[in-house]
Amino acid sequence: MAQYTERVQTVLTRTQYEYLRKLADEEHKPISKLIREAIEEFYFVQIEKDRRRQAL
């Protein structure tokens, strides 16, 4: 399991927060985990795909 050592703070609209809260409840995950997963998928996975494509 990863050890989280850095903290990030952001401000969401009420609509964004309510959507995340509902999704977190449905998936039985904390909002923080949903956000970490989204960052991982959207940025880090895409960066790796782009790097591999450029290497070809």
Domain count of the fold of the chain: 1
Question: What integer is the mean pLDDT of 2-19?
Answer: 95
Q: What is the pLDDT of residues 29-52, one digit of tens each?
A: 999 999 999 999 998 877 787 788
Cα–Cα distance for residue pair 25/50, rounded to 1 Å: 33
Flag whether 25 is in a domain.
Answer: yes
- Mean pLDDT across 9-26: 98
Boundaries of domain holding 22: 14-55
Residue 3 in domain: no
Query: Dihedral of the CA atoms 13, 15, 18, 6 (nearest 10)?
Result: -30
In this structure, are residues 29 and 36 in contact, taking their beta carbons and an 8 Å threshold?
no
Stretch 4-31: mean pLDDT: 97
Which position has the higher pLDDT, 1 or 18? 18
Secondary structure of the chain: what % helix, strand, coil (to 5)?
70, 0, 30
Percentage above 90 pLDDT, the chain? 64
pTM over 0.85: no
